[in-house]
């Protein structure tokens, strides 16, 4: 087994004080290594690491992330000394490359790129070909004997500089190039000749001068200082901030800036540029997966402006592009490249995402990073790497995000549904992000966001995507692009966020003006239905219903054999390893045998919460509860209670039978009463009849019962104390069901849980009542069954008084939904009026900008660890101070949230209980917590 190179974020603080303002990389001077990513960013750290292991990397230097923090704290200024260090570093690059900044015979050109601790693909800015001036462009032409390439690079630089450094609208500059192509009667940039390119450069500079009021800068160092500032500025663009929010990346991490000598992929037919993954990032297969463009620069591939060609002969053949792959066109360089892939994978022991450039047959590696991959690929690569002996099981598990398991469980299109829609199948693009998506066509990111707000699932359809489409991609169910390959921005982002994505559907015409999309003679409009299959690349102009995933089909519906599904095989392996390392037990919240069966198929080890009130959703049963609560006639009440005991017993029997000896926690009734009372006139009339009172009498009783804050009102144990007959029938039903099972030799020891306890006396009351009812029942039936009585801890006072409460409880279960509601004073029902705004950020009173985040997460989804979490810790400590081995679980929604599960693991809980479909995520999260802590 190899020692793994540290590539994950090193949270152990690297030194705060930064002794250098620049860190060199390259053969001659190399200051960094892969473990310094907090300081140098992922890109900078890996450039240094690659240099040190002999990978061909053009030399350069990294300005660390601490400088970005400085820049932002000091109001967008950098220390004066930085310029001196940058100038020194440039000198060293000049020495190493034998070039000179601004030279008329042999100019140094550099790229200036961002690079944070964790990769944020396409979210920040880059400037290429920096150093070109009216003089240097001639120097480049002379040196390379390639005047066309020199002016091609110059025009690219002017546009990028205007866009990134000056913030001018890039499209205004692109218009000049489009107009020149139209005038020359050519379609591709590569078809423009030298004179046309020179003319374009002149026009671009004129537009620049007009917009900025000054000439295009002719001093390379000035260009460089401005570009460094611009890259630091791009840390705070809207899209970068949105990305950070979604990915939970702290805004004070900052980005590094990497300045690197340019390698030229646009020097003619022996030059090229490309992006490749050492394995397929969509499926996880162990095949070289990448794309390249001859005579082009890196941005052309990443931005998806030209559809690139596959690097491997096999993929080219599969796409009908015989003889066009890099493997066939540049066989020697391809062999060199794949040797580098092997070295990198072995060195980093992970799948790599590599950017490369071939300059007149010489290969350069410009970047490597751990490749982003779909959930399916995460799982397959993890499993394969263990089998290849590259990593151990723990490391492999650490490479699988809990969300990817959710992706594996998400719906697909069934083969027969696709066959039925075959007349609407319009084509097949690249299967860039697995999964099925169906919805209405949205042609812009804004429109996708709008559809989402209106509640319509949509598919974002774009000619190509740019990072500014990020918000729309997040809002859409899936993404379809006309151009761009499987390494384009759209594909990388889609895979990362589990969005189904089809790229490069050549032949599709997107007309934003007419709001139509056309393929051949088929036209549909924005708002019409479309379906995309990101596993196969198929696109249909119609709606196709999605169906359960292979995992659902194999383990829940049991309609396919898991042995016939590779996905199921991988899933089972990951889950087996997870179960091996986790210490937390995983239970489920289930109210019916059906839900419970789903949860058990997905690995639940018992029930942590059955909400008895959910057994009253049927109209007839609801009426019975209303009779108990509202009838004046005792006979009606008694009859209703008998019925309730009867059907509850049947429901519990079904649950206990399904559990087959696993633990079962049944929580006594906890209905916020308003949810169970009649609201419409028709319902009121029916209820009045059932309880034999007039409608007016019923309305009067309802008026008496009405509460302003039902969530803080007559619910939980308060109901059981004031209406003991309700506790009585529930306990009888639970215990009779358990007795029946025991008689059938199925072990069953129910755990009866009392809700909404705030004072130990409430629990004492209910416990005494439960024990008395049990005693009576056992005497009546002449047989006993073991049971335990515990309580929910879901009010702050209960957590604070846990030591007293534990004297009367056999177990605790934290109800973090109510504990959050009552600790934060935010109603579970009304939080949406303001919480999303708190999370998205409001206007900052000091700066007037809209990025003051009041509260970072939804506390009802992910536990507020510093507030509610503290109460959980107090509750655990208090409970166990009275009863050392007190069993403690959690059954609020947070039981299925990975970050919260990590907290519960660290706090020493015995189990988490979550909804059935989150069980696999909880199993994996629990294992990851055990491995981490
Ligand atoms: C809770 O409060 O966390 C809980 C599980 O109970 P309920 O959601 O039913 O109030
Ligand atoms: Mg509750």
Residue 699 lies in a domain: no
The verdict on residue 651 lying in a domain is yes
The whole-number average pLDDT for the span 482-506 is 76
Instruction: Give, using CA atoms, the residue closest to atom 6 of ligand 1.
Output: 815
Say if 886 falls within a structural domain.
yes
Atom 4 of ligand 1, nearest CA residue: 815
- Is the same domain home to 656 and 738? yes
18 is in an annotated binding site: no
Ligand 1 atom with least separation from CA of 814: 3
Residues 738 and 767 in one domain: yes
- Report CA(860)–ligand 2 centroid distance (Å): 12
Is the pLDDT reported for residue 13 higher than 80?
A: no
- Rounded to the nearest angstrom, the distance between the alpha carbon of 798 and the centre of ligand 1 is 14
Confidence of residue 302 (pLDDT cuts 50, 70, 90): low
Domain membership of residue 390 (yes or no) is no
Q: Is residue 745 part of a domain?
A: yes
Nearest CA to ligand 1 atom 3: 815
Marked catalytic residue, from 765, 891, 894, 914:
891
Confirm whether 489 is a catalytic residue: yes
SS3 of 246-264: the string is HHCCCCCCCEEEEEEECCC
* Same structural domain, 796 and 874: yes
User: Are 297 and 204 in a shared domain?
Assistant: no
Tokens (6 digits) for 478: 């899936």
Segment 702-752, tens digit of pLDDT? 998 888 888 899 999 999 999 999 999 999 999 999 999 999 999 999 999
Residue 818, annotated as binding a ligand? yes
Q: Is 593 within a domain?
A: yes
Structure confidence at residue 672 (pLDDT) = 78
Residue 824: pLDDT above 60? yes
Q: 98: annotated binding-site residue?
A: no
Q: 615 CA distance to ligand 2 centroid (A)?
A: 16
Across 11-25, 51-65, 159-173, least confident range: 11-25
What is the pLDDT at residue 671?
A: 84
With a CB cutoff of 8 Å and minimum separation 6, the contacts of 100 are: 94, 106, 107, 108
The reply, when asked if residue 569 is annotated as ligand binding, is no
Return the pLDDT at 304. 55
Q: For residue 836, how far is its CA from the centre of ligand 2 (angstroms)?
A: 22
193 is in an annotated binding site: no
CATH code of residue 927: 3.20.20.60
Do 165 and 191 reside in the same domain of the chain? Answer: yes
Calculate mean pLDDT across residues 610-614. Answer: 93
Top mutation candidate among 589, 616, 794, 868 for ligand 1, by most atoms within 8 Å of CB: 794
Band (pLDDT 50/70/90 cuts) for residue 399 is very high
In a domain, 403, yes or no: no
Q: Are 558 and 466 in contact (CB under 8 A)?
A: no
Determine the distance separating the centroid of ligand 1 and the alpha carbon of 793, expressed in angstroms: 10
Does the pLDDT at position 319 exceed 90? no
Q: What is the pLDDT of residue 306?
A: 66
Q: Any residues with CB less than 8 A from the CB of 663 and at least 6 apart, and which?
A: 587, 605, 606, 607, 749, 751
How much of the chain exceeds pLDDT 70, in percent?
A: 96
DSSP state of 164: I
Ligand 1 atom having least distance to the Cα of 892: 3
Rounded to an integer, the average pLDDT of 472-488 is 84
Please state, for a pLDDT cut of 90, what percent of the chain lies above it.
71
Residues 288 and 230 in one domain: no
- Last residue in a domain, options 235, 261, 287: 261
Q: Flag whether 619 is marked binding.
A: no
pLDDT band at 669 (very low <50, low <70, confident <90, very high): very high
Instruction: Please give the pLDDT value at position 3.
Output: 34
Beta bridge partners of 588: 607, 914
pLDDT the model gives residue 11: 34
Query: What does the DSSP 8-state code read for residue 217?
Result: P
216 and 319 housed in the same domain = no
Q: Which two tokens stand for residue 842?
A: 């409001």
369 and 241 both lie in a single domain: no
Q: What total number of domains does the chain contain?
A: 4
Same domain, 278 and 255: no
Query: Could you tell which of 614, 676, 868, 892 is best to mutate to test the pocket of ligand 1, judged by most ligand atoms within 8 Å of the CB?
Result: 892
In this structure, are strands 585-589 and 23-25 parallel, antiparallel, or unpaired?
A: unpaired
Q: For residue 816, give the ligand 1 atom closest to its CA.
A: 3
Pocket probe for ligand 1: among 672, 818, 875, the residue whose CB has the most ligand atoms within 8 Å is: 818
Q: Are 69 and 254 in contact (CB under 8 A)?
A: yes
Q: Are 51 and 25 in contact (CB under 8 A)?
A: yes
Q: Are 414 and 436 in contact (CB under 8 A)?
A: no
372 compared with 882, residue with greater pLDDT = 882
* Whether the Cβ atoms of residue 663 and residue 587 lie closer than 8 Å to each other: yes
pLDDT for residue 1: 34
Least confident of 116-120, 465-469, 695-699: 465-469
pLDDT of residue 19: 61
Atom number of ligand 1 nearest to Cα 609: 5
User: Which residue has a Cα nearest atom 8 of ligand 1?
Assistant: 817
Ligand 1 pocket, CB under 6 A: 609, 611, 670, 794, 815-818, 891-892
Segments of 140-261 assigned E as strands: 255-261
Write out pLDDT tens, residues 897-906.
999 999 999 9
**Mean pLDDT across 402-407:** 84
Residues 6 or more apart in contact with residue 786 via CB below 8 angstroms: 749
Of the two residues 875 and 307, the one the predictor is more confident about is: 875
Same domain, yes or no: 52 and 170: yes
How many Å apart are CA 324 and CA 116, to the nearest integer? Answer: 35
Known binding residue 667? Answer is yes
Last residue of a domain, one of 261, 286, 306: 261
CA angle 843–848–852, rounded 5-degree value: 35
What is the pLDDT confidence band of residue 303, given thresholds at 50, 70 and 90?
Answer: low
Atom of ligand 1 nearest to the CA of 893: 3
Q: Average per-residue pLDDT in the chain?
A: 91
Report the C-alpha gap between 422 and 250 in whole angstroms.
47
Average pLDDT over residues 17-25: 78
More confident residue, 577 or 616: 577
Angle at 370 between CA 366 and CA 373, to 5 degrees: 120
Domain edge (last residue) among 229, 261, 293 = 261
626-636 residue pLDDT tens = 999 999 899 99
Tell me the mean pLDDT in the region 457-486: 86
Model pLDDT, residue 786? 97
CA gap 471, 908 in Å, rounded: 39
Residue 383 · residue 572 · CB < 8 Å: no
**CA 298–ligand 2 middle distance (angstroms):** 55
Q: Are residues 882 and 924 in the same domain?
A: yes
Nearest atom, ligand 1, residue 794 CA: 2
Catalytic residue among 68, 201, 458, 489: 489
Most distant CA pair in the chain, distance: 105
Of 673, 792, 823, 911, best ligand 1 pocket probe by most atoms within 8 Å of the beta carbon = 792
220-261 pLDDT per residue, tens: 999 999 999 999 999 998 888 888 888 888 888 999 999 999
SS3 779: helix
pLDDT at 7: 35
Range of the domain at 313: 272-373
pLDDT at 450 over 90: yes
pLDDT on residue 673: 80
| Active site (annotated) includes residue 891 | yes
Q: What is the CATH number of the domain that holds 521?
A: 3.50.30.10
Distance 756 CA to ligand 1 centre (A): 9
| Same domain (yes/no): 786, 637 | yes
Long-range pairs for 144-148: beta carbons < 8 A, 24 or more residues apart? 144/264, 144/267, 146/267, 146/268, 147/194, 148/193, 148/194, 148/197
Measure 755 CA to ligand 1 centroid, in angstroms: 8
Tell me, yes or no, whether 684 lies in a domain.
no
| Model confidence pLDDT, tens digit, residues 200-215 | 999 999 999 999 999 9
pLDDT, tens digit, 9 for 90 and up, residues 882-893: 999 999 999 998
Q: Give the residue whose CA is nearest to atom 10 of ligand 1.
A: 818
3-state secondary structure 751-766: EEEECCCCCHHHHHHH
Check residue 547 and report its DSSP letter: B
For residue 4, pLDDT over 50 is answered with no
């Amino acid at each position: 087994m190899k020692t793994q190179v540290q590539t994950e974020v090193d949270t152990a603080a690297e030194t705060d004080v930064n002794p250098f303002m620049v860190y060199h990389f390259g053969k001659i001077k190399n200051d960094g290594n892969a473990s310094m990513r907090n300081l140098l960013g992922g890109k900078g750290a890996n450039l240094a690491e690659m240099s040190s292991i002999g990978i061909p990397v053009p030399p350069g230097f990294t300005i660390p992330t601490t400088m970005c923090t400085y820049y932002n704290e000091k109001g967008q200024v950098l220390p004066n000394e930085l310029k001196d260090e940058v100038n020194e570093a440039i000198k060293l690059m000049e020495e190493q490359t034998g070039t000179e900044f601004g030279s008329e015979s042999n100019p140094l050109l550099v790229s200036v790129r961002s690079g944070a601790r964790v990769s944020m693909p396409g979210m920040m800015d880059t400037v290429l070909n920096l150093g070109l001036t009216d003089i240097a462009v001639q120097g480049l032409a002379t040196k390379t004997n390639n005047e066309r390439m020199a002016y091609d690079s110059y025009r690219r630089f002017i546009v990028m500089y205007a866009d990134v450094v000056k913030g001018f609208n890039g499209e205004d500059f692109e218009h000049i190039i489009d107009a020149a192509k139209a005038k020359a009667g050519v379609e591709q940039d590569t078809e423009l000749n030298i004179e046309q390119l020179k003319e374009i450069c002149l026009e671009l500079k004129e537009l620049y001068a007009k917009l900025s009021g000054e000439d295009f800068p002719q001093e390379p160092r000035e260009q460089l200082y401005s570009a460094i500032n611009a890259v630091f500025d791009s840390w705070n663009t809207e899209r970068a901030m949105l990305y950070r929010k979604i990915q939970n990346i702290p805004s004070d991490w900052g980005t590094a800036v990497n300045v690197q000598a340019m390698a030229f992929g646009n020097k003619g037919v022996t030059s090229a540029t490309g992006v490749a993954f050492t394995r397929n990032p969509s499926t996880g297969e162990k095949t070289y997966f990448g794309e390249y463009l001859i005579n082009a620069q890196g941005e052309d591939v990443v931005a998806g402006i030209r559809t690139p060609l596959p690097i491997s002969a096999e993929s080219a053949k599969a796409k009908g592009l015989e003889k066009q792959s890099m493997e066939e066109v540049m066989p020697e360089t391809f062999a060199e490249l794949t040797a580098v892939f092997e070295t990198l994978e072995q060195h980093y022991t992970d799948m790599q995402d590599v950017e490369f450039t071939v300059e007149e047959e010489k290969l350069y590696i410009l970047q490597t990073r751990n490749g982003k991959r779909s959930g399916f690929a995460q799982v397959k690569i993890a499993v394969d790497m263990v089998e290849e002996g590259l990593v151990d099981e723990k490391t492999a598990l650490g490479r699988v995000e809990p969300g990817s398991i959710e992706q594996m469980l998400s719906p697909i299109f069934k083969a027969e549904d696709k066959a039925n829609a075959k007349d609407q199948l319009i084509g097949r693009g690249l299967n860039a992000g697995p999964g099925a998506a169906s919805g209405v066509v949205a042609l812009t990111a804004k429109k996708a966001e709008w559809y989402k707000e209106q509640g319509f699932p949509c598919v974002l359809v774009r000619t190509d995507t740019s990072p500014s489409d990020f918000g729309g991609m997040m809002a859409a169910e899936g993404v379809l692009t006309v151009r761009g390959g499987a390494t384009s921005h759209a594909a990388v982002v889609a895979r990362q966020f589990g969005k189904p994505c089809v790229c490069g559907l050549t032949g599709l015409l997107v007309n934003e003006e007419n709001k139509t999309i056309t393929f051949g003679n088929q036209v549909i409009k924005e708002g019409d239905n479309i379906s995309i299959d990101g596993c196969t690349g198929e696109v249909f102009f119609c709606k196709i219903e999605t169906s359960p995933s292979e995992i659902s089909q194999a383990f829940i519906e049991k309609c396919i054999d898991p042995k016939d599904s590779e996905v199921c095989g991988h899933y089972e392996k990951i889950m087996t390893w997870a179960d091996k390392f986790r210490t937390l037990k995983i239970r489920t919240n289930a109210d019916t045998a059906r839900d419970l069966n789903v949860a058990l198929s997905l690995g639940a080890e018992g029930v942590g919460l059955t909400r008895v009130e959910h057994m009253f959703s049927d109209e007839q049963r609801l009426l019975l509860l209303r009779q108990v609560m509202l009838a004046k006639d005792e006979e009606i009440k008694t009859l209703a209670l008998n019925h309730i005991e009867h059907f509850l017993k049947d429901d519990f029997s079904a649950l206990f039978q399904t559990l087959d000896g696993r633990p079962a926690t049944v929580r006594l009734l906890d209905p916020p009463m308003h949810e169970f009372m009649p609201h419409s006139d028709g319902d009121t009339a029916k209820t009045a009849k059932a309880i034999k009172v007039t409608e007016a009498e019923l309305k009067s009783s309802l008026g008496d019962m009405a509460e302003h804050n039902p969530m803080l009102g007559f619910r939980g144990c308060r109901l059981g104390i004031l209406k003991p007959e309700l506790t009585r029938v529930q306990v009888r039903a639970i215990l009779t069901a358990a007795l029946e099972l025991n008689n059938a030799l199925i072990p069953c020891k129910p755990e009866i849980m009392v809700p909404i306890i705030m004072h130990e006396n409430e629990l004492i009351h209910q416990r005494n009542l439960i024990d008395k009812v049990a005693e009576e029942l056992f005497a009546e039936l002449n047989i006993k069954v073991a049971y335990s009585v515990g309580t929910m801890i879901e009010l702050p006072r209960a957590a604070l008084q846990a030591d007293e409460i534990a004297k009367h409880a056999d177990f605790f279960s934290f109800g973090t939904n109510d504990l959050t509601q009552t600790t934060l004073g935010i109603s579970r029902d009304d939080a949406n009026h303001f919480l999303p705004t708190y999370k998205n950020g409001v206007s900052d009173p000091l700066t007037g900008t809209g990025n003051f985040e009041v509260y970072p997460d939804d506390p009802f989804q992910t536990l507020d660890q510093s507030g509610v979490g503290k109460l959980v810790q107090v509750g655990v400590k208090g409970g166990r101070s009275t009863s050392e081995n007190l069993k403690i679980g959690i059954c609020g929604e947070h039981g299925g949230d990975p970050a919260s599960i990590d907290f519960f693991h660290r706090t020493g809980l015995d189990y988490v209980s979550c909804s059935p479909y989150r069980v696999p995520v909880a199993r994996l999260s629990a294992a990851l917590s055990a491995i981490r802590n």
